[in-house]
Amino acid sequence: MQYTRLGRTALEVSRLCLGTLNFGVNTPRAESFAMMDAALSHGVNFFDTANHYGWQVHRGMTEELIGEWFDKGGGRRERTVLATKVFNPMSDWPNDRGLSARHIISSCEESLRRLRTDWIDVFQMHHVDRTAPWEEVWQAMEVLVHQGKIRYVGSSNFAGWHLAQAQEAAARRNFLGLVSEQCAYNLVTRHVELEVLPAAEAYGIGVITWSPLHGGLLGGSIRKLREGTAVKTAKSRAMQVLEEQGETISAYEDLCASLDEDPAEVSVAWVLSRPGVDSTIVGPRTLGQFEGVLRALDLRIGAEASERIDALFPPVGKGGPAPEAWSW
């Protein structure tokens, strides 16, 4: 397994992060446990979840499942760098959502209870809360750090200027602030190259990417649809993109075939090769999918193949960071 330090911290995380969105919903409990065991056995020490995952059954179900797995012992909790999130509604009550100090602290305590652990390694804000002053947010996070309930704070789905705003407010309080930003980044969605990645680099914030396959679109979706094996692609946002960019996706799959490589593995390898990316979240539905994506760590995309990929999935504007991407 390949490891890297998360942002400017001394915390070492695997370059593949196990996403748990499917656990308990699309992936049965027993297979979820087997996948987490397999992850640790392969050296994947970074797991990502969220307080509301499992909402299709009940909010918090996925954290409960992970807590059961931790309770099996064997050093499972000690070897795992655990990231979870706060922001989304956990009930219909008005204060059971967002980033108020009340909700941040209560949500952390509830996550700890469900996860059956004493601490969270990376406590992430799932989205920016435009109604919450940063002084309030950081005061709450400081309380949790001082109590030993969280080790680091991360963000998710922030714009570049939100990262700057958050970090400047943290600096005024002599607080470490954000150590990571989790953002959507793949061949189809390259918007973060404009401002999020440059801002993260400037502030020493590690980048964790999610949806490297864009909801299954980049995982051989056309072939799977033809074979009748496309479970995720056929019922996700990927289907709409496929209808709009079918020729491009088909050309991408042909390119991967010419390289004798799997489209999913090429997509994950491409994201991992991008400057500033520390780790990418893979959310396999089955144990077989997880074991397959591990091969992406050793895949190297050559210069010619990279140029062909860029031609199929060009960056936003002229490429690179703003403002050069759109100005002279």
Q: At what angle do helices 238-258 and 263-272 cross, to 10 degrees?
A: 90
Neighbouring C-alpha atoms within 13 Å toward the C-beta of 273 = 16
Q: Report the phi/psi class of residue 104: left, alpha or beta, with left for phi > 0 and alpha for psi in -120 to 50.
A: alpha
Alpha helices by DSSP H, listed for the chain, are 29-41, 61-70, 76-79, 101-115, 134-146, 160-172, 196-203, 221-227, 238-258, 263-272, 287-293, 303-312
Residue 263: alpha-carbon gap to chain centroid? 20
Q: How far apart are CA 255 and CA 81, in angstroms?
A: 36
Q: Report the phi/psi class of residue 210: left, alpha or beta, with left for phi > 0 and alpha for psi in -120 to 50.
A: beta
Residues with a known catalytic role:
53
Q: Give the alpha-carbon dihedral of 122, 265, 271, 27, to 10 degrees.
A: -30
> Cis peptide leading into 275, omega within 30 of 0?
no
Q: How far apart are CA 238 and CA 219, in angstroms?
A: 10
Torsion over CA: 268, 317, 6, 27 (sign): negative
Count of CB atoms within 10 A of residue 103's CB? 22
Q: How far apart are CA 287 and CA 28, in angstroms?
A: 11
- Contact between 47 and 80 under an 8 Å Cβ cutoff? The reply is yes
Helix (H, G, I), strand (E, B) or coil at 4: strand
